[in-house]
Every structure is written in C-alpha cells, then in structure tokens.
Amino acid sequence: MNNQKPTLYTCLSPALLHLYDLNDTIVVIIDVLRATSTIATALFNGAECIIPVENVPQCIEWAQKIECITAGERDGRVADGLEYGNSPFEYSRNFIAGKTLVLTTTNGTKLLHMALEKGAISIITGSFPNLSAVCQYLIAQKRSVVLGCAAWKDKINLEDTLFAGAVISQVKKHFDINCDSSQIAEVLYQAGRQDMFEFLKTKNASHYYRLVGYGLEKDIQYCLTPDTANVVPFYQDGKLIIS
Amino acid sequence: MNNQKPTLYTCLSPALLHLYDLNDTIVVIIDVLRATSTIATALFNGAECIIPVENVPQCIEWAQKIECITAGERDGRVADGLEYGNSPFEYSRNFIAGKTLVLTTTNGTKLLHMALEKGAISIITGSFPNLSAVCQYLIAQKRSVVLGCAAWKDKINLEDTLFAGAVISQVKKHFDINCDSSQIAEVLYQAGRQDMFEFLKTKNASHYYRLVGYGLEKDIQYCLTPDTANVVPFYQDGKLIIS
C-alpha cells in the first residue's frame, strides 16, 4: 500500500511555470480579480460553458461563429466590439443560465494555455467564490497539484497569492508541501484572512487600486468572499464547464 | 524642489528580473544562505576583494592567473580543485585579511551579471550580517532600488524573501513602494522576525533543510543574525570591494 501523499507546489507567476513539472498534475488557475471569480459565478448561475480567450479580436471571432455572450474590458469599461464586462455581478442566473459566455481574460487564459502545453492532466479554475469546492476536489483526487497564479503581466500579485494560501491552509494535511512559495502564500493568507479587503488596501495592492480607480470596490468585496459559488470549473476541449 | 521619493521594487527570482527597469537603479543582490553573508563577512574581516564566479572551472582559472583563495562547494563539501568552502566561518580576519577571495556562488553571480547587463547603475550585496549598512546606504543615496533575490535555481525561497522584507521594514518611509512582491516580503518578515531560524524550520524551507542535511545549522544561525559585519560590498570591474 502506498501511503505517500501527493505533492503540492505554488507557482506565483506564469513566468516561473517552466520550473514546475506538470505531468500527471492538476493545475488550478487563479485570477482572483476578477476572471476566475466571474467564471465560478457564471457557471454556478447556470452558464452552459465559458470560452476563455486572450484578447478582444478572438472574442469577436467567436461571436461570428456561435451564439454567445461576449465579454471583456479595457481600462475598466466594456471593450469596443463586445457586449459585457468582467464583473461577476453581470452574470446573474436570469441572464446567463443556459448561455455560452466568451470571456476575455488576458493573464488567466495565457496561463491556462501554458499549463495545457506543459501536459497538465486536468485544469480547473479557483477563486474565493469557489474556494471550498476547489479544496474538496483537490483532496478527493489524491493527485499532485500546482496552484498557478495568473499574476499581472507576470508580476506576482497579492490577491492571487492570498488565494493560493487559502487553499493551502485547507488542504495541507493531505499533501506533501516542499515548496517555499507555498509557505510564503500561506503566511500571507494567515496575515490577511481576517479582513482581506482591508489587507489589500493597507498593503497598497496594485490591482486593488487599479480596480478602485474604476469604481469597482463592490467587485473586489465579492471576489474576496469565500464560497458564494461553489462549483469546480474544468477546462475541456477549449471550454470551461462544470460536470 | 522635487520631493518625490525614489521607487523600491522587489524581484523574488532572477527569472522575473526582465519585468523590472534597472536603469539608474541600485540593485541589491540577496543570497542569504550563504553567498552574500560570506561576502559581507570576508570583506568586513579585511579581504582585499572578492571575485564572484558562477562555477568551479572559472574559479580554478582565476587561481592560475592571480594569487588568491579559491572557494566553492558541491553538495556541502569543498568542490574538487578548490581550497575552501562557502561558510562565513572560514573567513576570519586572521585568515582572509589582505587576500583576494574567488568565490563560487551559482545563483548570486548569475543574478549579478544579469543586473549588470540590464544597466543597473550600482550593484551591492545584502545579507543579514550587513543589513543595517545596506539600509543606511540605500536611504542615503536617494535613488531607485531593486531588491534582487538570488533564489534557488530560479525558485523563490523563504530566506532571501525574508531579507528583502527586513530591508523594506527599515527603509520604507524613504521610498515609494508600489510593488506587491515587496508587500509580500514585508509580511513574511513581520511573521518570522522574532525567530527566523525557527521560522525557516517550521516553514520547511527547502534550502534550510538542504544545509541542515550537511550539518550546517551554525552557518544558518549566523546567516540570520543581523549586523555582525556591517559593510557595503560594491561590485566594480568584476570585483566586490568596500570603499
């Protein structure tokens, strides 16, 4: 009988992904503000599937091929040529149930494609709204895990690192964690968990201030609230779905 | 009159250095266990200069050209062909005063050369033994700073991140810090500062366990002790010197 625990690593930036072996590994794509929070929310609210794309032209291309909702922002506004934005609040059940959402998410989609090319056996997305669902899934699978932070143009960010730390604090007994980045993420989460909104604010988080500048405090609050949309979005054949 | 503070960024791995603009910037090379700790110690104890090299053959080459002490380890032992190891305890005043030390330090030297190529205006080395000297120097210069962690084969490590956090906690009032990695480093330092040795141990730090495996607890203790060798090593014409 093999009692060895599977390993867990945290990759804090896509620019470090080459350091990790993704073969036979579940990769969790983390893009807390706001891509993976919106993905969990839309699927929780009944979206048929979500097609993540890296840029606006790709999004428009999809709209010419299939019936879908196109979404993406530039500088805090709906991007030219698209219909909706990146806010989880736009994807209520009334609106999104049964529909296909094509979502522009630069950092998250890039990381997802990198993980796919590096041979990840399974790719899911994680965010505070689906924190517990992700943790329960990872524990149940008994496979090696890499938590992949989407970061911001490859720069490590506080919010994705916080989420990695939140996952680690829930699952660590089930994994062999020999990874300094994971330890750093968990220390960060323990320091910030009491009030993550206030934590990002006092720590002068770059992306927090970018979104606050667009008047999106309410989005940030939502994206830092655990377990409001507990589903596990899987990437399969170019789409994110829940089983 | 320009009251704008200079910026400070932290780069947690050499693989992220391309994200930072090093023009007109002071770069602090951080390789806590043990390269930059040994560099500060040897210079504090009167070494004439230190020539950092990336590998053993380069070290041997220098010994054929100049009178020097060659130092470097592989797997916790003095490397074949060299005379001394990487422990700061080997470089007492009696032994090293007035001599040139050619030191093999893979991660630190690589980062140093990268910073040089990217146009850093000044490169110094930082470690707990010279913590306050580095902080005072950075404050006095009133120039932009990048704290560069040497990491371990590009993987972010706890000890270099801790040191970056220690610097930030001393200098932050004098800099404009809009950098999530810096915030993460400072949170880590605040969490670990009371007993950094115990912190690395309980956090299962990879390099801590690598060194403990070689019986080097005493080295780690020394390398985590602030201000025992308060000099500022500058890189100039291929050598580290103090002015």
* Identity of the residue in A15, A158, A178 whose CB atom sits nearest the CB atom of B184: A158
Average pLDDT on A120-131 reads 98
Count of beta carbons in the 10 Å neighbourhood of residue A72: 25
Average pLDDT on B47-74 reads 95
Scanning every residue of chain A, which has its alpha carbon at the shortest distance from the alpha carbon of B14? A16
**pLDDT band at A47; cut points 50, 70, 90:** very high
Scanning every residue of chain B, which has its alpha carbon at the shortest distance from the alpha carbon of A19? B155
- pLDDT of the residue at A2: 60
User: Structure tokens of A243?
Assistant: 């089983």
pTM of the predicted model as reported, rounded to 2 decimal places: 0.96
- pLDDT of the residue at B189: 98
Give the C-alpha separation, B95 to B90, whole Å.
8
- pLDDT of the residue at B27: 98
A chain contacts of residue B178, beta-carbon cutoff 8 Å: 204, 206
Average pLDDT on A174-189 reads 97
Does position A101 have pLDDT exceeding 80, yes or no?
yes
Residue B104 near residue B79, CB atoms below 8 Å: yes
Residues 6 or more apart whose CB falls under 8 angstroms from that of A213 comprise: A76
- pLDDT of the residue at A243: 78
Cβ within 8 Å of A, B 6-65? 12-13, 15-16, 18-19
Report which residue type is found at A136. Answer: Q
Average pLDDT on A166-173 reads 98
Q: What is the ipTM of this complex?
A: 0.95
Does position B12 have pLDDT exceeding 80, yes or no?
yes
Q: H helices then E strands: how many in chain B? A: 10, 11
User: Structure tokens of A14?
Assistant: 């896509």
Whole-number average pLDDT of chain A? 95
Average pLDDT on B190-213 reads 92
Average pLDDT on A103-128 reads 95
Distance from CA of B36 to the nearest CA of A (A): 20
3-state DSSP assignment of residue A224: coil
Task: Choose among A163, A224, A164: nearest CA to A195.
Answer: A224
